[in-house]
Structure 1
Amino acid sequence: MIRNERIKALEVRLAGLNGEDLGVVPTREALEMARKLKVDLVCTSLMSSPPPCRLIGAAAAVQEAQQARKKEQPSKVKELRLTPRIEDHDYDTKRQQAERVLSSGDEVLFVVRIQGKEGAAAQTLLESLIRDLKPFGRAKTGIQLSGKQAAVQLEPVGS
């Protein structure tokens, strides 16, 4: 993201603080306007001529840059393994771990190892995890029972 004096174009297509179109303006005038309003002049794209620029507050510019960087990075998937005979304390620990991962914006894949006839218990366990983690994430996939494991993937609520 190019800001203020780093914009080298002679003129820019300017948008105001509220997104209103101010037309094509010489860069020097746009910079003076930004200084007068105590905001930044930010170039949104270099692919067109004249480049589109916006007047935005400094805090908003930093926040927008962070959001753009987050969108560029694909979300990671953290795998958490369980067994159907999990104790309450271990269940709480795994739930808290999943809350932290989901809150950071990444996805969680719960995998339950199954031996013998534990399929129903594994499905019940995954359903209770989905229910307990509802404020933090939602099921991206349904509960998948296959051979020796059951799995479900949760994605953060904000995505």
Structure 2
Amino acid sequence: MSVIRKVVPNNVNTDLVNEKIRFREVLVIDADGTQLGVMSRDDALKRAMDQELDLLCVAPKGNPPVCKILDYGRYRFEAQKKAKDAKRKQHVVELKSLRLPPNIDKHDFDTKMRHARKFIEQGHKVKVDMRFRGRLITRLDVGRKAMNQFIEEISDIAQVEKRASLEGNTMSCVLAPIKKKQQ
């Protein structure tokens, strides 16, 4: 026997409006924000229709449920506008990855440092990986020294979010931009 589940897409309206409200009694708030008191659903609907507005249930779990008289079309428009604005203003932080060898040369070190600085200044986090291959696994102190030097040189614009730790044959740490204090 198969079970049929009702799937409601995100864009489908699930608000309790006008005839969809099934409560016997509701606490009604007028369009201007004044509380009209507890009344039957039919009386609340009639009052909303008299004002040529809609009745929206804003707190269905209340005792009694709270309904507000408003222009539902305008309410939906404002809600969609707020959601669109919030989506536009959000900033997605990417995790950029850099790989350093344990026995890195000065010039290569400086190049990797420039890349890391560029990523941090753009607001991204940087994951620094150091892979120990072959016999280098016995020289963890050399790798840790290079990693600490890297962290120290970039500490003016970045803070350590995840300290350097060894997982298998890879030592890694995560650096994040320093939050600027708002005045």
TM-score, normalization: structure 1? 0.55
Report how far residue 119 of structure 1 moved: 1.5
Aligned counterpart in structure 1 of residue 101 of structure 2, from 74, 83, 91: 83
Contact 1:84/1:113 (8 A) holds in 2 = yes
* 1:140 counterpart = 2:161: yes
CA RMSD of aligned residues (A): 2.8
Contact 1:109/1:151 (8 A) holds in 2 = yes
Does 1 or 2 have the higher relative contact order (CA < 8 Å, sep 6+)? 1
Aligned counterpart in structure 1 of residue 117 of structure 2, from 89, 93, 99: 99
Q: Tell me the number of residue pairs that the alignment of Structure 1 and Structure 2 aligns.
A: 99
Q: Give the Cα separation in 2 of the matches to 1:68 and 1:89.
A: 42
Report how far residue 69 of structure 1 moved: 4.0
Q: Give the Cα separation in 2 of the matches to 1:132 and 1:68.
A: 35
The gaps in structure 1 that reach 5 residues or longer are 1-45, 48-64
Report how far residue 68 of structure 1 moved: 7.7
Report how far residue 116 of structure 1 moved: 2.5
* 1:122 counterpart = 2:172: no
Report how far residue 122 of structure 1 moved: 1.4
The gaps in structure 2 that reach 5 residues or longer are 1-77, 80-84
- Change in Cα spacing, 1:126 to 1:69, as seen in structure 2 (3 Å) is farther
Match of 1:110 in 2: 128
Which secondary structure does the structure 1 equivalent of 2:130 belong to?
strand
Q: Deviations over 1:55-76 (max 9, x none)?
A: xxxxxxxxxx8x9845x13200
Q: Deviations over 1:99-155 (max 9, x none)?
A: 000000000000001132121111111111111001111000011112211000000
TM-score, normalization: structure 2? 0.48
- Alignment map for 1:1-159 (pairs within 5 Å): 46-47=78-79, 69=88, 72-114=90-132, 115-158=136-179
Q: Which amino acid aligns with 1:138?
A: Q
Q: Deviations over 1:68-110 (max 9, x none)?
A: 845x132000100011110000000000100000000000000
Q: Which amino acid aligns with 2:122?
A: S
Q: Which amino acid aligns with 1:145?
A: L
Q: Percent identity?
A: 23
Q: Give the Cα separation in 2 of the matches to 1:137 and 1:69.
A: 26
Larger Rg: 2
